[in-house]
């Protein structure tokens, strides 16, 4: 990784630029660019910020950024691949435990969705049954009134004869 810093420093010096001028032009601190040129990458807690600064600095200096990005990614892979496997296993178990303790959303839990669908189906069927029963009862009442009124009219006509 120190090679990236050396390449950036050599290019900057070859262009006759001071560290302060370069930092001012790309809106970073001179101390950040100096840390990169010296290979002090532990000064950066955020690897994404470090990568962004390196890419911006390389573009500013007119260097090919693809090669620098590849070299940076190799460095990050090498530094992160040194994590012991048992630490990775512990972290995975911790994540699984955290996931199992989470409260599931009713929108993502399929069992809850099935129960709620069943509830809506039953309510819908009961509503349809109620409407049908109401229509049937209303028809019975209307029919019985029609039958009674016809009977009364017929009876009145016979009586008047």
Question: Does a structural domain hold residue 76?
Answer: yes
> Global pTM?
0.49
Residue 95 counted as domain residue: no
| Cα angle for residues 102, 107, 109 (degrees, 5° grid) | 55
Q: Which residues form the domain of 114?
A: 104-161
In a domain, 140, yes or no: yes
Q: What is the pLDDT of residues 87-144, one digit of tens each?
A: 778 888 887 777 665 555 555 555 556 667 888 899 999 999 999 999 999 988 888 7
pLDDT in tens, 43-90: 888 888 888 999 998 999 898 888 888 888 887 777 666 667 777 788
Which residue intervals of 46-109 are DSSP H helices? 47-61, 65-80, 85-100
Residue 119 has phi, psi (to 5 degrees) of -60, -45
On whether both 79 and 114 belong to a single domain, the answer is no
Domain assignment of residue 90, yes or no: no
Give how many domains the chain has, as a whole number. Answer: 2
**Helices 47-61 and 30-38, interaxial angle, to 10°?**
90
Identify whether 96 is part of a domain: no
CA distances from 137 to 125, 126, 129 (A): 18, 16, 12
């Amino acid at each position: 990784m120190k090679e990236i810093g050396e390449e950036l420093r050599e290019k900057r010096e070859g262009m006759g630029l001071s560290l302060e001028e370069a930092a001012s032009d790309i809106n970073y601190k001179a101390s950040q660019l100096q840390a990169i040129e010296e290979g002090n990458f532990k000064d950066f807690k955020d690897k994404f910020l470090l990568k962004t600064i390196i890419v911006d600095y390389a573009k500013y200096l007119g260097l090919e950024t693809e090669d620098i990005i590849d070299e940076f990614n190799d460095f990050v892979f090498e530094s992160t691949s040194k994590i012991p496997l048992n630490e990775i296993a512990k972290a995975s178990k911790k994540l699984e435990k955290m996931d199992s303790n989470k409260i599931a959303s009713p929108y993502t839990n399929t069992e809850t969705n099935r129960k709620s669908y069943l509830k809506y189906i039953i309510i819908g069927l009961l509503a349809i049954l109620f409407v049908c029963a109401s229509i049937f009862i209303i028809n019975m009442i209307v029919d019985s009134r029609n039958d009674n009124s016809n009977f009364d009219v017929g009876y009145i006509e016979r009586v008047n004869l």
